[in-house]
Structure 1
Amino acid sequence: MRSPAVLNKLIFRRIMPLLIAAYVIAFIDRTNIGMAKDRMEIDLGISATAYGIGAGLFFLTYALSEIPSNLIMHRVGARFWIMRIMITWGLLSACMSLVQGEWSFYILRMLLGIAEAGLFPGVIYFITQWFMVKDRARANGFFLLGVALANVIGAPLGGLLLTMDGLGGLHGWQWMFIIEGIPACFLALVVWKMLPNKPSEAKFLTRAEAEDLEARIAAEESAGAAAAGNSKLRHVLKDKQILLVVAIYFTHQIAVYALSFFLPSIIGTYGELTSVQIGLLTSIPWLFSAIGALLIPRLATDGSRSRTVASASMVGIVAGFALGAIGGPVLGLIGFSIAAFNFFALQPILFTYPATRLSGAALAGGIAFVNTVGLFGGFLGPYVMGLLEEITGNKMSGLWFIVIMCAIGAVLTLKLRRGTEDPSKASVSGH
């Protein structure tokens, strides 16, 4: 039987590329309205506030559907459920090309949220079935590369597709939605064919290796849940540490999606730029976010280090947005790059905490709960950015709201601790 270290590397090679590819496509389809914002305002008369509402409505229906989706996946398996999610979101994303005004924009964004619900928490839960706690922050970080890569690839691609304006009687933004929505349906078939539900179904592991891995993970989860006193889903609502993770994640998501949806239009204020140039400049901060996802989460190997890295990352987000708000084109882009570098240094670490305090169906539901409540930040951030832009006429005005919310999140990170961590030691190291 191969050593745990060798098996860990093998599992990374076999399942992570497919999961990353799925999230790349999902995030492109979720956030490509950022590239379409200014064109849809011109072609359809959608105001900045209406755009912010539509961008955020995705997260309301997504959030409300997540816990049921994750519990279904726990019962039917990741392979089938991820395939179903990808097909429905791909089709609905392509249907965004049919938007005629504010209400059709709202409705399709809400349907897209329902369709995609469960993908992120489902994969995070799936990762807990394959990796021990010490390896999960790194695995989560690799998965979140999908967000960074989606923006590195998606922004320039979106800018290029917008140049198809008028072809076949369609606007460029309509072509963008159609062309970027279709790949999800094809990748769904690859997921169905290649993704095993659990180690015991993996052809690349021997029976003994799979049984040993599943036993070690189950023992680790049970120990963490017992130490935290959590054995049922309802216990999540009483666990102060999980509620703390929710609050931090809420502020984090405000920052991530405010940047995702509004960075292209902010960059558009830097001068006379083409859609392709805006797309290329938009991709720069997300390139730094990919670097952060690769380098930082692997440092979070225990509770104390996780807390330190989480706090430092949140401070980096605050500093980055503040610099983006006061800097010109060069310093502003540097600031947004600093913030983005820390986005996925923090997020993979936050999602290691539920798995040290929950197990089984409670873990599946608990991860979804964290993501569900946190994603209301994905609604609030774009909404406030759009509202303040319309009130002030300044696309930068909402950035200070992001700074304040993330500063609160930075303070909260000091109180984090894992399920089996000694509270007294956590308190000392947190100050």
Structure 2
Amino acid sequence: YDAVNNISNQVLITVGDAEQGFKESDHIRQDRFVIPTTSHIALEPHGALASFDSAGKLNVWLSHMGYEHKRYWLAKTLGIPISKVRVNKTYVGGAFGGKISLFPYELLAAFLSKKTGRPVKIILSRSEVLSTCHTSRRFIVDVKTGVKRDGTIMAQHIKIIDDAGAYRSSSPTALYLAHVFRHAIYNIPNVRHEGVGVYTNKLFTGPKRGHSLQQISFAVESQLDMIAEELGIDPLELRLKNLRKKGDILPNGDRLDSYGLPECLRLAAESSGWKQKWGKQPNRGVGIGTGGMFSGGHNYPFGSAAFVKLNPDGRFTLFTGQTEFGGGVDTVMAQIAAEELGLTIDDIVVVSGDSELCPYDIGNWLSGGVYVSGQAVRRAAADAKQQLLAYATEALETKIDQLEINNGRIYVKANPDKAVSLSALGKGSSALEATTPESNILHCFGI
């Protein structure tokens, strides 16, 4: 590498004046936390099946969390047009962030298929997964926090060394997200956040269950407990005192439109018997902590699309790019469409996770599967409903606002017996199709 001192990337974010905040603090504590790397250990090991057809098109079946990422990098690495790569639907046995990247075995299967003209399947053993697929990040976190005697946090300086492994991968993203995740929780007026990604002769690292959320939360929350003990303050009260409020503007410019953490903490404390248990049980204890997760981005490509099609039998086919890996996303998407269209889940046929048939979808990660793709499905179904109501106005001789859809029928609200079935509409216009690409459905921010 050309990297000086093996540094792959750096992040520096400042808010206020950290040094001045420390001068105004009554109590300062500084600690180092080392969070080791771990593997995702999904129940299903990784696997790939690749086959080039006679027209030079690559068909692959992969363990993945979203086909767009895999499709793009397969095409780019193999030097073929992306239109020549089809990622077929698979049911994936767990992921947890561990099946986002394009892995060497997937590329190898495609390369061997291209060379031999035969299908190639590679299934990794558990030991092969551990030795060739990315792990979580190893963070070395230095945290310095200054507080007033009453527990008000005045300043915080966080420095992270990200042991990125042999390749930079998503290190810049992880170091940035570590800042966003933490400073969405507490209202700290003076912050200095430093991050350094370092190349090491190890397996490359990547997202796992929050993409740096666990590492940075462990460090900061552990230190808050230490500070609370030194000040003689209830750890719960220390946290409640420093929480943000709804409407706050975060250091990255985002606004907290929804923020239920104070109520959540109080309910957790009440239901767990915090006041009765904290600091009173010999050899046993209770703990409390917080975490915030930024789920996605503000614009393309962090979006999703969906469309629905009315069939001649009155049922709908729903096309979504979401990937099913154990969370039940296919079922949820069918429920959303059915509710919007006034149908039952049995009336919705879901086609998902196929890059040839389905519209754009960023992937099922960052806790955005239902929120992002579900919103696209809801809007597509709502648009289909409006098109169908408009189509039925002529047959039912009434205005659109006088119509409703339910149980496979469009009927007049004032006279439910005056109706037309969806199957009749489907047979009458086989070309009737409601398509709504929703590329602006974005991830939520969850605490």
Which structure has the larger Rg over C-alpha atoms?
2
Same fold (TM over 0.5): no
Structure with the larger RCO, 1 or 2 (CA within 8 Å, 6+ apart): 1
Higher share in strand: 2
